[in-house]
Amino acid sequence: MNKPFPDSEMLQKPVRVPAEAYISREYAAQEQERLWRKVWLQAGRTEDLKKAGDFITYEIGSDSVVIVLDESGDLAAYHNVCPHRGRRLVDVPSGERNACGTRKNFICGYHGWTFGLDGENTFVEHEEDWQGALCNGRGDLSKVCVESWGGWIFINLDPECEPLADFLGVIPQMLEPYQLQNMRARWRKWIIFDCNWKVAMEAFCETYHVATTHPEFNAYGKFRGWSRNHGLHTNIGYEAPKGMEEDTGKMRVGTEGIDPRATTAEMQNYTWEAANTNTTEKLVEVANRLVDELPEGTSAAEVSAYWIKTAREEDAARGVVWPEVAPEHTVEAGTAWQVFPNFQIGQGVQNMLCYQARPYKGDPDKCIFEASVYQLYPDGEEPETQWEYTEPEDWPPVLQQDFSNMAAVQEGMKSAGFAGAQPNPYMERAVASLHTNLARYMGAGEPVPLD
Protein backbone atom coordinates (compact mmCIF):
# COMPACT_ATOMS: atom_id res chain seq x y z
CA MET A 1 0.00 0.00 0.00
CA ASN A 2 3.03 2.27 -0.06
CA LYS A 3 3.12 2.43 -3.84
CA PRO A 4 1.71 5.56 -5.53
CA PHE A 5 -1.43 5.50 -7.62
CA PRO A 6 -0.77 4.69 -11.27
CA ASP A 7 -0.53 7.81 -13.40
CA SER A 8 -1.95 8.23 -16.87
CA GLU A 9 1.45 8.18 -18.55
CA MET A 10 2.34 4.86 -16.92
CA LEU A 11 -0.87 3.22 -18.13
CA GLN A 12 -0.62 4.56 -21.67
CA LYS A 13 2.04 1.94 -22.33
CA PRO A 14 1.16 -1.69 -23.19
CA VAL A 15 1.29 -4.12 -20.25
CA ARG A 16 0.66 -7.77 -19.52
CA VAL A 17 -1.65 -8.68 -16.61
CA PRO A 18 -0.65 -11.98 -14.95
CA ALA A 19 -3.38 -14.63 -14.85
CA GLU A 20 -2.89 -15.39 -11.15
CA ALA A 21 -5.30 -12.65 -10.08
CA TYR A 22 -8.07 -14.49 -11.93
CA ILE A 23 -7.36 -18.17 -11.33
CA SER A 24 -5.11 -18.59 -8.27
CA ARG A 25 -6.77 -20.04 -5.16
CA GLU A 26 -3.98 -18.59 -3.02
CA TYR A 27 -4.60 -15.11 -4.45
CA ALA A 28 -8.36 -15.46 -3.91
CA ALA A 29 -7.85 -16.56 -0.31
CA GLN A 30 -5.73 -13.50 0.44
CA GLU A 31 -8.27 -11.06 -1.03
CA GLN A 32 -10.49 -11.14 2.05
CA GLU A 33 -7.86 -9.77 4.41
CA ARG A 34 -5.80 -7.64 2.03
CA LEU A 35 -8.54 -6.15 -0.16
CA TRP A 36 -12.17 -6.56 0.95
CA ARG A 37 -11.45 -5.58 4.55
CA LYS A 38 -9.54 -2.46 3.46
CA VAL A 39 -11.71 -0.65 0.88
CA TRP A 40 -15.07 1.10 0.67
CA LEU A 41 -17.70 -1.21 -0.84
CA GLN A 42 -21.08 -0.30 -2.31
CA ALA A 43 -23.62 -2.18 -0.20
CA GLY A 44 -27.08 -0.85 -1.14
CA ARG A 45 -29.32 2.11 -1.88
CA THR A 46 -30.50 4.67 0.65
CA GLU A 47 -34.10 4.43 -0.58
CA ASP A 48 -34.17 0.79 0.57
CA LEU A 49 -34.07 2.08 4.15
CA LYS A 50 -37.02 4.41 4.71
CA LYS A 51 -37.76 4.37 8.45
CA ALA A 52 -36.10 3.52 11.75
CA GLY A 53 -35.49 -0.21 12.00
CA ASP A 54 -35.33 -0.85 8.24
CA PHE A 55 -32.27 -2.97 7.50
CA ILE A 56 -30.39 -4.83 4.78
CA THR A 57 -27.44 -7.17 4.91
CA TYR A 58 -24.35 -7.17 2.72
CA GLU A 59 -22.12 -10.19 2.24
CA ILE A 60 -18.50 -9.97 1.13
CA GLY A 61 -16.69 -13.28 1.35
CA SER A 62 -16.72 -14.54 4.93
CA ASP A 63 -17.87 -11.18 6.28
CA SER A 64 -21.49 -10.13 6.66
CA VAL A 65 -22.73 -6.67 7.62
CA VAL A 66 -26.11 -5.45 8.88
CA ILE A 67 -26.96 -1.91 7.74
CA VAL A 68 -29.87 -0.23 9.52
CA LEU A 69 -31.55 3.12 10.05
CA ASP A 70 -31.28 3.89 13.76
CA GLU A 71 -33.80 5.68 15.92
CA SER A 72 -32.49 9.05 14.74
CA GLY A 73 -32.88 8.10 11.09
CA ASP A 74 -29.11 7.85 10.59
CA LEU A 75 -27.27 5.00 8.90
CA ALA A 76 -25.57 2.51 11.19
CA ALA A 77 -23.73 -0.69 10.33
CA TYR A 78 -22.55 -3.66 12.39
CA HIS A 79 -20.79 -6.92 11.83
CA ASN A 80 -23.54 -9.50 11.42
CA VAL A 81 -22.37 -11.70 14.26
CA CYS A 82 -23.39 -12.12 17.88
CA PRO A 83 -20.47 -11.37 20.24
CA HIS A 84 -21.54 -14.23 22.52
CA ARG A 85 -20.73 -17.39 20.55
CA GLY A 86 -20.35 -16.16 16.98
CA ARG A 87 -23.75 -16.99 15.50
CA ARG A 88 -24.83 -14.90 12.52
CA LEU A 89 -27.33 -12.42 13.91
CA VAL A 90 -29.46 -12.13 10.76
CA ASP A 91 -29.78 -15.09 8.40
CA VAL A 92 -29.98 -14.56 4.65
CA PRO A 93 -33.02 -16.52 3.37
CA SER A 94 -32.12 -19.40 1.08
CA GLY A 95 -31.99 -18.29 -2.56
CA GLU A 96 -31.97 -14.57 -1.71
CA ARG A 97 -29.22 -12.07 -2.44
CA ASN A 98 -29.46 -10.55 1.04
CA ALA A 99 -31.72 -10.25 4.05
CA CYS A 100 -33.95 -7.20 4.52
CA GLY A 101 -36.84 -6.09 6.67
CA THR A 102 -37.75 -3.99 9.70
CA ARG A 103 -36.91 -4.70 13.32
CA LYS A 104 -37.14 -2.87 16.63
CA ASN A 105 -34.09 -4.79 17.78
CA PHE A 106 -31.92 -7.73 16.80
CA ILE A 107 -32.23 -10.97 18.77
CA CYS A 108 -29.71 -13.76 18.41
CA GLY A 109 -31.44 -17.03 17.58
CA TYR A 110 -28.98 -19.08 19.66
CA HIS A 111 -29.27 -17.75 23.22
CA GLY A 112 -31.46 -14.68 22.86
CA TRP A 113 -28.90 -11.93 23.36
CA THR A 114 -30.64 -8.74 22.22
CA PHE A 115 -29.29 -5.57 20.64
CA GLY A 116 -30.83 -2.17 19.99
CA LEU A 117 -30.63 -0.30 16.68
CA ASP A 118 -27.59 1.48 18.14
CA GLY A 119 -25.82 -1.88 18.46
CA GLU A 120 -25.84 -1.86 22.26
CA ASN A 121 -26.67 -5.03 24.14
CA THR A 122 -30.04 -4.66 25.87
CA PHE A 123 -30.57 -8.18 27.21
CA VAL A 124 -28.43 -11.12 28.31
CA GLU A 125 -30.12 -13.90 30.22
CA HIS A 126 -28.30 -14.49 33.51
CA GLU A 127 -25.96 -11.59 32.79
CA GLU A 128 -24.80 -11.68 36.41
CA ASP A 129 -22.99 -14.94 35.68
CA TRP A 130 -20.39 -12.94 33.76
CA GLN A 131 -19.55 -11.03 36.94
CA GLY A 132 -19.57 -7.65 35.23
CA ALA A 133 -17.17 -8.68 32.45
CA LEU A 134 -19.62 -7.75 29.66
CA CYS A 135 -19.32 -4.02 30.44
CA ASN A 136 -17.43 -1.48 28.32
CA GLY A 137 -18.93 -2.67 25.02
CA ARG A 138 -17.82 -6.32 25.24
CA GLY A 139 -21.41 -7.45 24.81
CA ASP A 140 -22.28 -4.97 22.05
CA LEU A 141 -22.22 -5.42 18.31
CA SER A 142 -19.01 -4.48 16.51
CA LYS A 143 -19.48 -1.32 14.45
CA VAL A 144 -18.69 -1.01 10.76
CA CYS A 145 -17.90 2.30 9.04
CA VAL A 146 -20.81 3.41 6.84
CA GLU A 147 -21.40 6.48 4.69
CA SER A 148 -23.50 7.38 1.68
CA TRP A 149 -23.06 9.26 -1.57
CA GLY A 150 -25.23 9.59 -4.68
CA GLY A 151 -27.99 7.49 -3.16
CA TRP A 152 -25.53 4.63 -2.57
CA ILE A 153 -24.61 3.14 0.80
CA PHE A 154 -20.94 2.28 1.26
CA ILE A 155 -19.35 0.25 4.06
CA ASN A 156 -15.72 -0.24 5.08
CA LEU A 157 -14.59 -3.05 7.39
CA ASP A 158 -11.40 -1.19 8.34
CA PRO A 159 -12.02 0.90 11.50
CA GLU A 160 -9.06 3.10 10.54
CA CYS A 161 -10.28 3.78 6.98
CA GLU A 162 -10.15 7.12 5.21
CA PRO A 163 -13.41 9.07 4.69
CA LEU A 164 -15.52 7.92 1.75
CA ALA A 165 -15.12 11.30 0.03
CA ASP A 166 -11.34 10.88 0.00
CA PHE A 167 -11.61 7.33 -1.34
CA LEU A 168 -13.95 8.35 -4.18
CA GLY A 169 -11.61 11.08 -5.42
CA VAL A 170 -12.99 12.90 -8.47
CA ILE A 171 -16.08 10.71 -8.84
CA PRO A 172 -18.50 12.92 -6.86
CA GLN A 173 -17.36 15.99 -8.79
CA MET A 174 -17.94 14.21 -12.10
CA LEU A 175 -21.21 12.45 -11.28
CA GLU A 176 -23.08 14.77 -8.92
CA PRO A 177 -24.46 16.81 -11.86
CA TYR A 178 -26.42 13.67 -12.86
CA GLN A 179 -28.27 13.63 -9.50
CA LEU A 180 -28.12 9.85 -9.29
CA GLN A 181 -29.73 9.92 -5.84
CA ASN A 182 -33.04 10.83 -7.47
CA MET A 183 -33.23 7.69 -9.62
CA ARG A 184 -35.06 4.53 -8.61
CA ALA A 185 -34.57 0.92 -9.67
CA ARG A 186 -36.53 -0.38 -12.67
CA TRP A 187 -35.00 -3.85 -12.39
CA ARG A 188 -32.36 -5.59 -10.28
CA LYS A 189 -30.94 -9.02 -11.17
CA TRP A 190 -28.22 -11.23 -9.73
CA ILE A 191 -26.64 -14.59 -10.46
CA ILE A 192 -23.88 -16.90 -9.23
CA PHE A 193 -21.70 -17.07 -12.33
CA ASP A 194 -18.83 -19.27 -13.47
CA CYS A 195 -16.02 -16.72 -13.59
CA ASN A 196 -13.82 -14.68 -11.29
CA TRP A 197 -15.27 -11.38 -10.12
CA LYS A 198 -12.58 -9.48 -12.06
CA VAL A 199 -13.45 -11.26 -15.31
CA ALA A 200 -17.06 -10.20 -14.74
CA MET A 201 -16.24 -6.55 -14.07
CA GLU A 202 -13.81 -6.38 -17.00
CA ALA A 203 -16.52 -7.56 -19.39
CA PHE A 204 -18.18 -4.18 -18.95
CA CYS A 205 -15.35 -1.72 -18.20
CA GLU A 206 -14.28 -1.23 -21.82
CA THR A 207 -15.85 -0.53 -25.21
CA TYR A 208 -13.32 -2.45 -27.32
CA HIS A 209 -15.52 -5.57 -27.27
CA VAL A 210 -18.72 -3.95 -28.51
CA ALA A 211 -18.14 -4.29 -32.27
CA THR A 212 -17.46 -8.02 -32.00
CA THR A 213 -19.51 -9.16 -29.01
CA HIS A 214 -22.54 -6.99 -29.86
CA PRO A 215 -22.35 -6.71 -33.68
CA GLU A 216 -26.00 -5.66 -33.94
CA PHE A 217 -25.02 -2.17 -32.79
CA ASN A 218 -22.63 -1.75 -35.74
CA ALA A 219 -25.61 -1.13 -38.01
CA TYR A 220 -26.38 2.11 -36.16
CA GLY A 221 -22.95 3.72 -36.08
CA LYS A 222 -19.40 3.11 -34.93
CA PHE A 223 -17.94 5.24 -32.16
CA ARG A 224 -14.33 5.01 -31.02
CA GLY A 225 -14.17 4.25 -27.31
CA TRP A 226 -11.64 5.39 -24.72
CA SER A 227 -10.65 4.62 -21.11
CA ARG A 228 -8.98 6.92 -18.57
CA ASN A 229 -7.64 6.40 -15.08
CA HIS A 230 -8.07 8.67 -12.06
CA GLY A 231 -5.99 7.25 -9.23
CA LEU A 232 -7.94 4.27 -7.89
CA HIS A 233 -10.80 4.68 -10.31
CA THR A 234 -11.40 4.86 -14.08
CA ASN A 235 -14.02 5.97 -16.57
CA ILE A 236 -14.89 5.03 -20.12
CA GLY A 237 -16.66 6.80 -22.96
CA TYR A 238 -16.97 7.38 -26.69
CA GLU A 239 -15.66 9.95 -29.08
CA ALA A 240 -18.27 11.78 -31.17
CA PRO A 241 -18.30 14.29 -34.03
CA LYS A 242 -18.33 18.01 -33.24
CA GLY A 243 -21.83 19.26 -32.56
CA MET A 244 -22.91 15.87 -31.21
CA GLU A 245 -21.19 16.00 -27.83
CA GLU A 246 -24.27 14.65 -26.04
CA ASP A 247 -23.86 11.53 -28.17
CA THR A 248 -20.76 10.75 -26.08
CA GLY A 249 -23.22 9.93 -23.30
CA LYS A 250 -26.01 7.38 -23.40
CA MET A 251 -28.32 9.23 -25.78
CA ARG A 252 -26.69 8.22 -29.01
CA VAL A 253 -28.10 8.86 -32.47
CA GLY A 254 -27.80 6.24 -35.19
CA THR A 255 -25.42 7.68 -37.80
CA GLU A 256 -24.96 4.82 -40.24
CA GLY A 257 -27.23 4.66 -43.29
CA ILE A 258 -28.86 7.44 -45.22
CA ASP A 259 -31.45 8.49 -42.67
CA PRO A 260 -30.43 9.13 -39.03
CA ARG A 261 -34.11 9.60 -38.14
CA ALA A 262 -34.79 5.95 -38.96
CA THR A 263 -31.55 4.49 -37.60
CA THR A 264 -32.00 6.32 -34.30
CA ALA A 265 -35.44 4.75 -33.89
CA GLU A 266 -34.10 1.33 -34.87
CA MET A 267 -31.22 1.59 -32.40
CA GLN A 268 -33.48 2.76 -29.57
CA ASN A 269 -35.95 -0.05 -30.14
CA TYR A 270 -33.18 -2.65 -30.30
CA THR A 271 -31.54 -1.25 -27.14
CA TRP A 272 -34.84 -1.37 -25.23
CA GLU A 273 -35.74 -4.87 -26.38
CA ALA A 274 -32.33 -6.55 -26.34
CA ALA A 275 -30.52 -4.73 -23.50
CA ASN A 276 -33.47 -3.31 -21.55
CA THR A 277 -31.23 -0.50 -20.35
CA ASN A 278 -29.37 2.66 -21.44
CA THR A 279 -32.62 4.21 -22.63
CA THR A 280 -36.15 4.91 -21.39
CA GLU A 281 -39.65 4.42 -22.74
CA LYS A 282 -39.89 8.17 -23.40
CA LEU A 283 -36.65 8.21 -25.42
CA VAL A 284 -37.89 5.25 -27.46
CA GLU A 285 -41.30 6.84 -27.96
CA VAL A 286 -39.87 10.10 -29.26
CA ALA A 287 -37.33 8.26 -31.45
CA ASN A 288 -40.18 6.37 -33.12
CA ARG A 289 -41.76 9.70 -34.16
CA LEU A 290 -38.63 11.25 -35.70
CA VAL A 291 -39.46 10.15 -39.25
CA ASP A 292 -42.86 11.83 -38.98
CA GLU A 293 -41.74 14.99 -37.19
CA LEU A 294 -38.49 15.84 -39.01
CA PRO A 295 -38.04 16.34 -42.75
CA GLU A 296 -36.05 13.96 -44.88
CA GLY A 297 -32.41 15.04 -45.10
CA THR A 298 -32.20 16.27 -41.50
CA SER A 299 -28.59 15.89 -40.36
CA ALA A 300 -27.55 13.54 -37.58
CA ALA A 301 -26.64 16.50 -35.34
CA GLU A 302 -30.06 18.07 -35.88
CA VAL A 303 -31.81 14.75 -35.25
CA SER A 304 -29.87 14.38 -32.00
CA ALA A 305 -30.75 17.90 -30.81
CA TYR A 306 -34.46 17.54 -31.63
CA TRP A 307 -34.76 14.06 -30.16
CA ILE A 308 -33.15 15.00 -26.84
CA LYS A 309 -34.94 18.36 -26.55
CA THR A 310 -38.35 16.83 -27.26
CA ALA A 311 -37.91 13.93 -24.86
CA ARG A 312 -36.67 16.30 -22.14
CA GLU A 313 -39.69 18.61 -22.54
CA GLU A 314 -42.23 15.78 -22.62
CA ASP A 315 -40.68 14.15 -19.56
CA ALA A 316 -40.76 17.48 -17.70
CA ALA A 317 -44.46 17.84 -18.51
CA ARG A 318 -45.18 14.57 -16.68
CA GLY A 319 -42.98 15.41 -13.69
CA VAL A 320 -39.70 13.87 -14.76
CA VAL A 321 -37.14 16.67 -14.74
CA TRP A 322 -33.75 15.82 -16.19
CA PRO A 323 -30.75 17.49 -14.55
CA GLU A 324 -28.86 19.97 -16.73
CA VAL A 325 -25.42 18.64 -17.63
CA ALA A 326 -23.24 20.77 -19.89
CA PRO A 327 -22.13 19.07 -23.14
CA GLU A 328 -18.47 19.61 -22.26
CA HIS A 329 -19.04 17.87 -18.92
CA THR A 330 -20.74 14.96 -20.71
CA VAL A 331 -17.65 14.61 -22.89
CA GLU A 332 -15.38 14.45 -19.84
CA ALA A 333 -17.65 12.23 -17.75
CA GLY A 334 -18.08 9.62 -20.49
CA THR A 335 -20.58 6.80 -20.15
CA ALA A 336 -19.48 4.87 -17.05
CA TRP A 337 -17.22 5.02 -13.99
CA GLN A 338 -15.44 2.08 -12.45
CA VAL A 339 -15.37 2.55 -8.67
CA PHE A 340 -12.46 0.53 -7.31
CA PRO A 341 -12.50 -2.33 -6.88
CA ASN A 342 -15.83 -3.90 -7.94
CA PHE A 343 -18.58 -1.41 -8.77
CA GLN A 344 -19.49 0.35 -12.03
CA ILE A 345 -21.92 3.25 -12.52
CA GLY A 346 -23.11 3.86 -16.08
CA GLN A 347 -24.60 7.32 -15.70
CA GLY A 348 -27.11 9.25 -17.78
CA VAL A 349 -29.31 12.28 -17.14
CA GLN A 350 -32.43 10.16 -16.76
CA ASN A 351 -31.20 6.57 -16.33
CA MET A 352 -28.19 4.55 -15.18
CA LEU A 353 -26.92 0.99 -15.44
CA CYS A 354 -24.82 -0.43 -12.63
CA TYR A 355 -22.74 -3.59 -12.23
CA GLN A 356 -21.11 -5.22 -9.24
CA ALA A 357 -19.28 -8.53 -8.78
CA ARG A 358 -18.08 -10.22 -5.60
CA PRO A 359 -16.28 -13.48 -4.80
CA TYR A 360 -18.39 -16.55 -4.11
CA LYS A 361 -17.30 -18.84 -1.26
CA GLY A 362 -13.62 -18.24 -1.97
CA ASP A 363 -13.79 -19.99 -5.33
CA PRO A 364 -11.70 -18.09 -7.94
CA ASP A 365 -13.84 -19.63 -10.70
CA LYS A 366 -17.15 -18.23 -9.41
CA CYS A 367 -18.62 -14.89 -8.46
CA ILE A 368 -21.83 -13.18 -7.46
CA PHE A 369 -22.65 -10.92 -10.40
CA GLU A 370 -25.40 -8.34 -10.33
CA ALA A 371 -26.80 -5.65 -12.59
CA SER A 372 -29.40 -3.00 -11.91
CA VAL A 373 -31.13 -0.34 -13.98
CA TYR A 374 -32.33 2.96 -12.53
CA GLN A 375 -34.25 5.88 -13.95
CA LEU A 376 -36.22 8.99 -13.02
CA TYR A 377 -39.93 8.67 -12.23
CA PRO A 378 -42.72 11.11 -11.41
CA ASP A 379 -43.23 11.45 -7.65
CA GLY A 380 -45.31 8.58 -6.34
CA GLU A 381 -44.87 6.41 -9.45
CA GLU A 382 -41.58 4.77 -8.51
CA PRO A 383 -41.81 0.97 -8.75
CA GLU A 384 -40.99 -1.27 -5.79
CA THR A 385 -38.32 -3.69 -7.03
CA GLN A 386 -36.50 -6.56 -5.37
CA TRP A 387 -33.33 -8.39 -6.30
CA GLU A 388 -34.28 -11.33 -8.53
CA TYR A 389 -32.07 -14.36 -9.04
CA THR A 390 -32.04 -14.79 -12.82
CA GLU A 391 -30.70 -17.75 -14.79
CA PRO A 392 -28.34 -16.87 -17.67
CA GLU A 393 -30.89 -17.57 -20.41
CA ASP A 394 -33.39 -15.19 -18.79
CA TRP A 395 -31.17 -12.09 -18.83
CA PRO A 396 -31.56 -9.54 -21.66
CA PRO A 397 -29.97 -10.89 -24.87
CA VAL A 398 -27.17 -8.30 -24.93
CA LEU A 399 -26.01 -9.38 -21.47
CA GLN A 400 -26.21 -13.01 -22.53
CA GLN A 401 -23.65 -12.12 -25.21
CA ASP A 402 -21.36 -10.79 -22.47
CA PHE A 403 -21.94 -13.90 -20.36
CA SER A 404 -20.68 -16.11 -23.18
CA ASN A 405 -17.36 -14.28 -23.03
CA MET A 406 -17.09 -14.30 -19.24
CA ALA A 407 -17.30 -18.08 -18.83
CA ALA A 408 -15.00 -18.73 -21.81
CA VAL A 409 -12.38 -16.24 -20.59
CA GLN A 410 -12.27 -17.87 -17.14
CA GLU A 411 -11.51 -21.25 -18.70
CA GLY A 412 -9.14 -19.85 -21.32
CA MET A 413 -6.95 -18.13 -18.74
CA LYS A 414 -5.99 -21.54 -17.31
CA SER A 415 -4.39 -22.59 -20.58
CA ALA A 416 -0.65 -23.25 -20.67
CA GLY A 417 -0.66 -21.15 -23.83
CA PHE A 418 -1.95 -18.02 -22.07
CA ALA A 419 0.82 -15.75 -20.78
CA GLY A 420 -1.47 -13.07 -19.37
CA ALA A 421 -3.94 -10.43 -20.55
CA GLN A 422 -2.69 -7.68 -22.89
CA PRO A 423 -5.31 -4.91 -22.66
CA ASN A 424 -5.57 -2.13 -25.24
CA PRO A 425 -3.78 0.87 -23.61
CA TYR A 426 -6.32 3.36 -25.03
CA MET A 427 -9.63 1.51 -24.97
CA GLU A 428 -9.03 -0.98 -22.12
CA ARG A 429 -6.93 1.10 -19.75
CA ALA A 430 -9.43 0.39 -16.98
CA VAL A 431 -8.24 -3.23 -16.93
CA ALA A 432 -4.58 -2.28 -16.45
CA SER A 433 -5.54 0.34 -13.86
CA LEU A 434 -7.60 -2.15 -11.86
CA HIS A 435 -4.74 -4.63 -11.60
CA THR A 436 -2.11 -1.98 -10.92
CA ASN A 437 -4.21 -0.80 -7.99
CA LEU A 438 -5.05 -4.34 -6.85
CA ALA A 439 -1.32 -5.01 -6.63
CA ARG A 440 -0.99 -2.12 -4.18
CA TYR A 441 -3.27 -4.01 -1.80
CA MET A 442 -2.43 -7.61 -2.67
CA GLY A 443 1.34 -7.37 -3.11
CA ALA A 444 1.03 -9.59 -6.19
CA GLY A 445 -0.30 -9.60 -9.73
CA GLU A 446 1.16 -6.27 -10.84
CA PRO A 447 1.04 -5.71 -14.62
CA VAL A 448 4.42 -5.82 -16.33
CA PRO A 449 5.44 -3.66 -19.31
CA LEU A 450 5.42 -5.23 -22.75
CA ASP A 451 8.83 -4.64 -24.32
Q: Report the pLDDT value the prediction gives residue 255, as an integer from 0 to 100.
A: 59
**Whole-angstrom Cα distance, residue 57 to residue 284?**
36
Confidence bin at 135 (pLDDT 50/70/90): confident
Q: Give yes or no for a contact between 357 and 370, defined as CB atoms under 8 angstroms apart.
A: yes
Query: Is 60 exceeded by the pLDDT of residue 105?
Result: yes
Confidence bin at 451 (pLDDT 50/70/90): confident
Q: Is 250 helix (H, G, I), strand (E, B) or coil?
A: coil
Q: Report the pLDDT value the prediction gives residue 344, as an integer from 0 to 100.
A: 98
Confidence bin at 425 (pLDDT 50/70/90): very high
Q: Report the pLDDT value the prediction gives residue 250, as an integer from 0 to 100.
A: 52
Percent of the chain with pLDDT over 70: 94
Query: Is 90 exceeded by the pLDDT of residue 297?
Result: yes
Q: Give yes or no for a contact between 85 and 127, defined as CB atoms under 8 angstroms apart.
A: no
> What number is the average pLDDT over the span 33-43?
98
Q: Report the pLDDT value the prediction gives residue 239, as an integer from 0 to 100.
A: 85
Confidence bin at 254 (pLDDT 50/70/90): low
Q: Report the pLDDT value the prediction gives residue 45, as an integer from 0 to 100.
A: 98
Confidence bin at 234 (pLDDT 50/70/90): very high
Q: Which residue has the higher pLDDT, 328 or 356?
A: 356
Mean pLDDT for all residues in the chain = 93
Shortest CA distance to 221 belongs to which of 334, 303, 292?
303
pTM score over 0.75: yes
Domains and CATH numbers, the chain: 11-37+175-450 (3.90.380), 40-157 (2.102.10.10)
Give the lowest-confidence range in 81-85, 242-246, 329-333. 242-246
Query: Is 60 exceeded by the pLDDT of residue 438?
Result: yes
Q: Give yes or no for a contact between 259 and 228, defined as CB atoms under 8 angstroms apart.
A: no
Shortest CA distance to 366 belongs to which of 357, 356, 374, 375?
357
Query: Is 80 exceeded by the pLDDT of residue 78?
Result: yes
Confidence bin at 444 (pLDDT 50/70/90): very high
Query: Is 60 exceeded by the pLDDT of residue 118?
Result: yes
Q: Rounded to 5 degrees, what are φ and ψ at 279?
A: -160, 175
- Write out pLDDT tens, residues 357-416: 999 999 999 999 999 999 999 999 999 999 999 999 999 999 999 999 999 999 999 999
Nearest-5° angle of CA 337, CA 360, CA 85?
Answer: 115
Q: Is 344 helix (H, G, I), strand (E, B) or coil?
A: strand
Cα 43 versus chain centre, distance: 10
**Whole-angstrom Cα distance, residue 313 to residue 306?**
11
> What number is the average pLDDT over the span 260-264?
92
Query: Is 70 exceeded by the pLDDT of residue 243?
Result: no
